[in-house]
Amino acid sequence: MSLTLKSGFSFDYDNLYGEGKVTEADLKSYAEDLKKAHEAMKVMREKGFIKAHLSKDGEPEKVLFSQLPYIEEGHLNSPKSLAHLKELTDHVKGNVDAVVSLGIGGSFLGNKVLFDVHCGAFWNAMSDEERKGFPKIYFSGNNIDPRSTGDLIHHLESQAEIVKTHKNRKYKVLLLVISKSGGTLDTMSNFMVIYDQLKKCDQIEVEVVAVTDPNEQKPTLLKKLAMEKGWPTYSVPDGVGGRFTIFCEVGLTMAACIGMDIEQFLAGARDMDEACKNDDIWQNPAMLNAALKFAAAEKHGRDIEVMMPYGDYLKSVSEWYIQLLAESLGKQFDKDGKEVCYGRTPLVAVGTTDMHSQTQQHQEGKLNKVVQFIKVAKWDKDLVIPNVFPEAQKLADISGVTMGEALEVARQSNEDALSSNQRFNACFTLPELTPYHLGELLYMLAMSVAYEGELSNVDAFNQPGVEAYKRIMGPKLQALKASK
């Protein structure tokens, strides 16, 4: 059983629904709740309103992520904002040697997804021509690690020496610093260290682009710095939590720096949103996904979700999903103030890698997991496994097929083995690994947690648990500084 859209995107739920799995009766028991959840999604789209949602300051706050796929005047993504992103593309192409993206949470995880899928692991080792003039990309600000930060600075200084020797010019580095407030410890500490060190290097020309709160009347710390120093700015908009920002300028600035097709990425999200407006659960991918996972957890105790894409460059999709699921649904209290301690635990896995590390647990461990596969139906550049050693029969037996075909056989074998032992699993299929289909997948997952928030009666758009450690950390840092 599967739900397949016109684009070819499909959700195969045959091993998650039916006898011995989530049943028709399970879903029927949620019929009224699903209707209410779907109505709540309509209100969210039209008015940006979600029942009982408040900002971290306890004030009413709109939820606007469902607006992002639509490029319209007055929207967060508008013709004007896309033109502004095009300015960034035009600036970095052929002019900037390296971009250091500084962000944490969604400001790192989402941007890493776009980089991995579009660029791959060897982007920085390619020639300028192979990268079509786009800069090398580095990530920082996602941990307060003195060794890795120092290594990055040393690497950039070494690159600058090479450019000086071979091209007799300065090495141009753009620091893309992403923080709504400008007070994010992890990001801003790395930014200040890197900015200070690179400015001291005579062979490096440093510029900064700030992605932050756009409010100029009451500017945040980073916005004020940008205004004073004349740094170009892009927006971290109100109403879009960090885990959803891959669809706004937070993620799209990265897309602009690598030459990714932003309009196709948003088009995929937009077409998925249109599919998710269907009130028929069997035609609405996000509602169906949410209902099946919710029922699997609540009715069958499957409260761990293993996100297992088949493909190395999709691992970051799984890592992005970890934040989306954990922050959206891991809540101690429901919307009525009742203690519920709700949420599924998300886990990262990659096929075939983790078939050799985690699958023993998936196959024979506790019956508390749903394994969610992601597969790519057609790879852009597939490779045939050659019969290099015909005298070795075991090796000859695996030759003559493509690596993509072998990868899918491995996934199917994992799927069949899990299903044979009462292990719930499902599969999302992308026809090809393109910006359009990536946009479909990520948006569907984002909309799924919105639906599940309504089903579970928790606020899928706040993160009070994150604020708890921040309140403790601030005074500790002040005490540390005072003790020096």
What whole-number distance in Å separates Cα of residue 414 and Cα of residue 421?
A: 11
Residues 135 and 158 in one domain: yes
Residues 32 and 100 in one domain: no
Check: CB of residue 321 under 8 Å from CB of residue 346: yes
Enumerate the active-site residues: 327, 356, 470
Average pLDDT of the segment spanning 138-144: 96
Residues 282 and 312 in one domain: yes
Q: What one-character DSSP code corresponds to residue 170?
A: P
Token pair listed for 476? 């500790």
- Beta bridge pairs of residue 72: none
Average pLDDT of the segment spanning 354-372: 97
Instruction: Tell me the DSSP string of 109-143.
Output: HHHHHHHHHHH-TTGGGS-TTTTTTPPEEEEESSS
Q: What is the mean pLDDT of the chain?
A: 96
**Domain carrying residue 172:** 94-258
Q: What is the pLDDT of residues 440-475, one digit of tens each?
A: 999 999 999 999 999 999 999 998 877 777 777 778
What whole-number distance in Å separates Cα of residue 431 and Cα of residue 10?
A: 8
Residues 286 and 428 in one domain: yes
Residues 112 and 145 in one domain: yes
Asked whether residue 238 is assigned to any structural domain, the reply reads yes
Residues 254 and 270 in one domain: no
- Beta bridge pairs of residue 174: 99, 207
Cα torsion through 324, 327, 330, 333, rounded to 10 = -140
Where among 210, 232, 258 does a domain terminate? Answer: 258
Whole-number pLDDT of residue 479: 76
Token pair listed for 478? 């002040």
Check: CB of residue 177 under 8 Å from CB of residue 141: yes
Check: CB of residue 56 under 8 Å from CB of residue 464: yes
Asked whether residue 409 is assigned to any structural domain, the reply reads yes
Tokens 């939590």 correspond to what residue?
Answer: 241
Average pLDDT of the segment spanning 250-273: 98
Asked whether residue 77 is assigned to any structural domain, the reply reads no
Residues 142 and 233 in one domain: yes
Q: What is the pLDDT of residues 9-18, one digit of tens each?
A: 999 999 999 9
> Any idea what the CATH number is for the domain that residue 236 is in?
3.40.50.10490
Residues 348 and 413 in one domain: yes
Asked whether residue 284 is assigned to any structural domain, the reply reads yes
Total number of domains constituting the chain: 2
One-letter amino acid identity for 108?
F
Residues 276 and 235 in one domain: no
Q: What is the pLDDT of residues 390-423, one digit of tens each?
A: 999 999 999 999 999 999 999 999 999 999 999 9
Residues 299 and 219 in one domain: no
Strands 304-309 vs 345-348: parallel, antiparallel or unpaired: parallel
Residues 386 and 425 in one domain: yes
Asked whether residue 76 is assigned to any structural domain, the reply reads no
Q: By three-state DSSP, how is residue 411 classified?
A: helix
Residues 281 and 424 in one domain: yes
